[in-house]
Amino acid sequence: MRLSRYFLPVLKETPSEAQIVSHRYMLRAGMIKQASAGIYSWLPLGYKVLKNIENIVHEEQQRAGHIPMLMPTLQSADLWRESGRYDDYGEEMLRITDRHGRDMLYGPTNEELITDIFRSHVSSYKDLPLTLYHIQWKFRDEIRPRFGVMRGREFLMKDGYNFDLTKEDALHAYNRHLVSYLRSYERMGLQAIPMRADGGPIGGDYTHEFLVLAETGESEVFYDSQITDLTFGDRAIDFDSVEQCQAVLEEFTSRYARTDETHDEAIFAEVPEERRRTARGIEVGQIFYFGTKYSDAMGALVQNAEGDKVPVHMGSHGIGVSRLLGAIIEANHDDKGIIWPEGVTPFHCGIVNLKQGDDEADAACEAIYASLTALGLEALYDDTKERAGGKFASMDLIGLPWRITVGPRGLKNGVVELTSRRSGESVELPPEQAIERIAQIYGRASA
């Protein structure tokens, strides 16, 4: 993309309403614009990152064998009356009346709707196991929306639901979700720690929240420092293997890691003192096995091998897609701006032309741009007439991980400059080598 043809409304001043760094940088980098309280338009740069995160979530869910679909944003109140949640949910549920006076609501979650789909179409254990998921906009009418997309009212979430014959099968689905979530967050450049969560009124041990450590996190967290040494990496895993998935669960959840909601000082005291950590965290996902709560209430029964009708065991599993942008920035920035992890960056590379209008510099930039495009890499080429300082400041602010700087002086020596946004280090290289380096970083075969 040529910047002269893009829509990237970068702000010089810090908007006064933004209290945390991710919100400030998302506004300044022209990623979002508030449409009304807690509701945002995603400007082109923000939309690209949102899509990248969505794609990672889709790929990892499908790798785990989960099936994509899409439920609508608006739901009928009737299903929520069946489950008993219509009255329980309180003021965060946005209630709507249509022109015929029917009670509707903007879905904050989808247990009722998915259970209704399931009971309409599935009646035999032979059709199990089944996990369906979608990525859809949801609404929670927060009394005080704040922190930009971190605590918005209209937000994008992946929510998935497993349907299984037995508790044992449902716990395998739980473990599959844990593995797929670990993979997803790592691909986004995040370390998200599964922490024992509060099962709420249902209770039970089978719920974990995934937290990203960040000073601005809303939750206080307590953990054994050994847990931050764990990475899933690119190990092969068979999602059908109960043993393999269970082993990952044990590896990632056997050490102490809890939020203030479930923190237990007595157990925490058993962790060797030098490994005890207190910090703040941002919740970016949750997995939850809740048994037959909804299948009982809504009559989602299947016939088992003996011919008996039994309620299915279910769980729901969420990833906060839009909030992840905030979490990633909270964990990846400096005082100049955002530092995107390669996995989610809106453009793979920036190109800065130090002397737009100089024939040689323009031609060199065009050639680099064309080479990167041919490799399937997206570059943002700053082809404007802005002075060099302004171009660098904008590139640093929007946080592309790699930048190629092209100027007449370097070209005389046959080199351009390749700069890492994260380390700030620059190397001078012939253009072909800079392109090859970028191709290697992103796993693209160079020409």
- 65/199 with CB nearer a second copy: 65
- How many Å from the N-terminal Cα to the C-terminal Cα in the chain? 21
What CA–CA distance (Å, rounded) separates 77 from 97? Answer: 10
- Closest to 140 (Cα-Cα) out of 59, 39, 220, 68: 39
- Closest to 323 (Cα-Cα) out of 16, 57, 64, 17: 57
Count other C-beta atoms under 10 Å from residue 333's C-beta.
18
Bridge partners (DSSP) listed for residue 41: 33
Given the rule CB under 8 A, which of 37-45, 228-236, 355-363, 437-445 is the region that contacts a second copy? 37-45
> Taking the complex as a whole, how short is the minimal distance between the CB of residue 274 and a second copy, in angstroms?
47
- 155/232 with CB nearer a second copy: 155
Site for a second copy in 3-22 (CB under 8 A): 5-7, 9
Q: Which residues contact 428 (CB under 8 A, 6 or more apart)?
A: 410, 413, 415, 416, 417, 418
What CA–CA distance (Å, rounded) separates 420 from 404? Answer: 9
Instruction: Please state at what angle helix 44-63 crosses helix 321-331, rounded to 10 degrees.
Output: 110
- 42/294 with CB nearer a second copy: 42
Pair type for strands 379-382 and 349-353: parallel
What CA–CA distance (Å, rounded) separates 132 from 315? Answer: 11
- 130/441 with CB nearer a second copy: 130
Instruction: Please state at what angle helix 167-187 crosses helix 242-253, rounded to 10 degrees.
Output: 60
Task: Indicate whether 30 belongs to the interface with a second copy (CB under 8 A).
Answer: yes
- 130/230 with CB nearer a second copy: 130
Among 21, 25, 40, 213, binds a second copy (CB under 8 A): 40
- 163/290 with CB nearer a second copy: 163
Site for a second copy in 312-371 (CB under 8 A): none
What is the gyration radius of the CA atoms in the chain, in angstroms? Answer: 24
Site for a second copy in 365-384 (CB under 8 A): none
What CA–CA distance (Å, rounded) separates 62 from 59? Answer: 5
Phi, psi of 120 (to 5 degrees): -75, -25
Are the CB atoms for 56 and 50 separated by under 8 Å? Answer: no
Among 18, 26, 43, 49, binds a second copy (CB under 8 A): 43
Among 86, 94, 292, 417, binds a second copy (CB under 8 A): 94
Burial (0-12, 13-18, 19+ Cβ within 10 Å), 126: exposed
Count of residues engaged in binding a second copy, rule: CB under 8 A: 56
> Taking the complex as a whole, how short is the minimal distance between the CB of residue 121 and a second copy, in angstroms?
4
Given the rule CB under 8 A, which of 47-55, 222-230, 296-304, 425-433 is the region that contacts a second copy? 47-55
> Taking the complex as a whole, how short is the minimal distance between the CB of residue 138 and a second copy, in angstroms?
10
> Taking the complex as a whole, how short is the minimal distance between the CB of residue 130 and a second copy, in angstroms?
6
- 106/174 with CB nearer a second copy: 106
Task: Indicate whether 36 belongs to the interface with a second copy (CB under 8 A).
Answer: yes
Site for a second copy in 95-154 (CB under 8 A): 96, 98-99, 102, 104, 106, 113, 116-117, 120-122, 127, 130, 132, 134, 137, 139, 141, 143, 153-154
Given the rule CB under 8 A, which of 88-96, 309-317, 356-364, 406-414 is the region that contacts a second copy? 88-96
What CA–CA distance (Å, rounded) separates 351 from 227? Answer: 39
**For residues 20-35, b (16+ Cβ closer than 10 Å) or e, as one string?**
bbbbbbbbbbbbbebe
- 42/347 with CB nearer a second copy: 42
- 29/415 with CB nearer a second copy: 29
- 194/346 with CB nearer a second copy: 346
Amino acid at 13: E
DSSP state of 64: T
DSSP state of 444: P
> Taking the complex as a whole, how short is the minimal distance between the CB of residue 270 and a second copy, in angstroms?
43
Q: Which tokens sit at 222?
A: 């307590």
Site for a second copy in 67-86 (CB under 8 A): 67-76, 78
- 175/405 with CB nearer a second copy: 175
Q: Which residues bind a second copy (CB under 8 A)?
A: 5-7, 9, 30, 33, 35-37, 39-44, 46-48, 50, 65, 67-76, 78, 91-92, 94, 96, 98-99, 102, 104, 106, 113, 116-117, 120-122, 127, 130, 132, 134, 137, 139, 141, 143, 153-154
